[in-house]
Amino acid sequence: MMGVANENIKRAEEVVNSIGIPSQPGIVLAIHKEINDPCPDFKKITDLIGHDVAIAAKILKIANSPFFGSRQVSSLEHALSLLGIGNFNNLIITSALRDVLKGCGPSDEVFWNHSMLVARITAYIAKKTGVLPEEEAYLLGLFHDCAIPLLLKKFPDYVQVFDSAIDYRPESIYNEEKLVKTNHSIVGYIVAKSWRLPEVMCEAIQFHHADSAVRQGDPSVSKARAALLLSEYICHCYTAEISGIPENDDEWLNHYGDVICELDIDVDDIKDFKEDSIDMLSRMEYTCV
Ligand SMILES: [Fe+2]
Ligand SMILES: [Fe+2]
């Protein structure tokens, strides 16, 4: 089993090396370092961003978008004081990730909307269940499918499996393996590691489509994975509702037992989370930032 896992990672590394891993921009690294200082210097953080006009403009655009509450944010200092340091950092990472993953034509918007929706719902589930910090949950949702646009750029045929990979269908990993000899979960794990996301999140990404029989050693990974899986399910229901396409619960049924066990919730909680999330997303408008 371990041999197979190592083989899979080796193949994914070959693919990532041939694509060229999208590196974490220097500004993200510098801000990450400052934020993790026991006494972060907020002025230094806004000055760092202020030197990059393009990223500063994008951050203000995202801060003012429905995904962050459309709050008339006029300056970086204002964004930082309104959102708090954790959300502000997430906003910088969101902007940087979006920049490095663009270039897939019409699929860009579909991919990005999915990632932003799952990020918001995963953060909401984390808040309700307490299984991981809200800001980490947001990043987990944001990064969980980050390999999809990379595989699309590397393998033009990947467009054949794009819909099933984004739309949370059980056949997606099998079809990806058949087509390109790797899959977006494992390539995403490598990208997340290179962006220095916490190990728990990297592993949750690696196993987010894994069979329910696969149990992970670290309980934090299983809990983070469960929050992500419930978020994927709710996102699927939401997009099915607004697009008029019938829901397909096959993938959800594979994971349902694990999710209620890991999150310590019941069927009524799931119903409530689903209704609250859909209500929250409807009020935000379904739009790409
Ligand atoms: Fe996925
Ligand atoms: Fe997804």
Q: Where are the domains of the chain?
A: 17-101, 105-289
CA of 165 to the centre of ligand 2 (A): 7
State mean pLDDT over 263-267.
Answer: 95
Q: How far is the CA of 88 from the centre of ligand 2 (A)?
A: 23
> Which residues, other chains included, contact 94 with Cβ-Cβ below 8 Å and sequence gap of 6+?
62, 116, 119, 142, 289
Asked if pLDDT for residue 65 goes beyond 80, the answer is no
pLDDT of residue 23: 72
Residues with CB under 5 A from ligand 1 (ion): 145
Model confidence at 3, pLDDT cuts 50, 70, 90, reads low
**Once rounded to an integer, what is the mean pLDDT over residues 254-281?**
92
Q: What spacing in Å lies between the alpha carbon of 184 and ligand 1's midpoint?
A: 7
- C-alpha span between 80 and 91 (Å, rounded): 10
To 5 degrees, how large is the angle CA 82–CA 42–CA 22? 90
Among residues 245, 166, 259, the alpha carbon closest in space to that of 212 is found at 259
Encoded tokens for 278: 């859909």
User: Cα(43)–Cα(184) distance, rounded to whole angstroms?
Assistant: 38
pLDDT band at 288 (very low <50, low <70, confident <90, very high): very low
pLDDT exceeding 70 applies to what percent of the chain?
92
Phi then psi dihedrals of residue 4, to 5 deg: -65, -45
Distance 143 CA to ligand 2 centre (A): 9
pLDDT at 15 (0 to 100): 83
Give the tens place of pLDDT for each residue, 208-249: 988 765 555 788 999 999 999 999 999 999 988 888 777 778
Classified by CATH at the fold level, domain 105-289 comes out as: Hypothetical protein af1432 (1.10.3210)
Centre of ligand 2 from the C-alpha of residue 11, in Å: 22
- Radius of gyration of the chain measured on its C-alpha atoms: 18
Q: For residue 165, which ligand has an atom nearest its CA? A: 1
Query: How far, in Å, from the CA of 116 to the mean position of ligand 2?
Result: 10
Q: Quick one: pLDDT at residue 145?
A: 96
Q: Which ligand is located closest to the Cα atom of residue 184?
A: 1
Query: What's the pTM value of the predicted model, to 2 decimals?
Result: 0.87
For residue 146, the CA-to-ligand 1 centroid distance in Å is 9
Query: pLDDT tier at 1 (50, 70, 90 boundaries)?
Result: very low
Going from the Cα of 217 to the center of ligand 1, the distance in angstroms, rounded, reads 21
Ligand approaching nearest to the C-alpha of 206: 1
CA of 96 to the centre of ligand 1 (A): 20
Amino acid letter for position 83: L
Least distant ligand from the CA of 166? 2
Q: Would you say residue 278 has pLDDT above 90?
A: no
Q: Which position has the higher pLDDT, 137 or 169?
A: 137
User: Tell me, what's the pLDDT at 66?
Assistant: 72
Q: Which ligand is nearest to the CA of 235?
A: 2
**Predicted pLDDT at 17:** 84
Question: Looking at the predicted structure, is the pLDDT value of residue 83 above 80?
Answer: no
Q: How far is the CA of 115 from the centre of ligand 2 (A)?
A: 7
Alpha carbon of 14 to ligand 1 centroid (Å) = 20
Cα 210 to ligand 1 centroid, rounded to whole Å: 10
Q: Quick check: 135 and 87 in contact, CB under 8 A?
A: yes
Contact 120, 135 (CB under 8 A): no
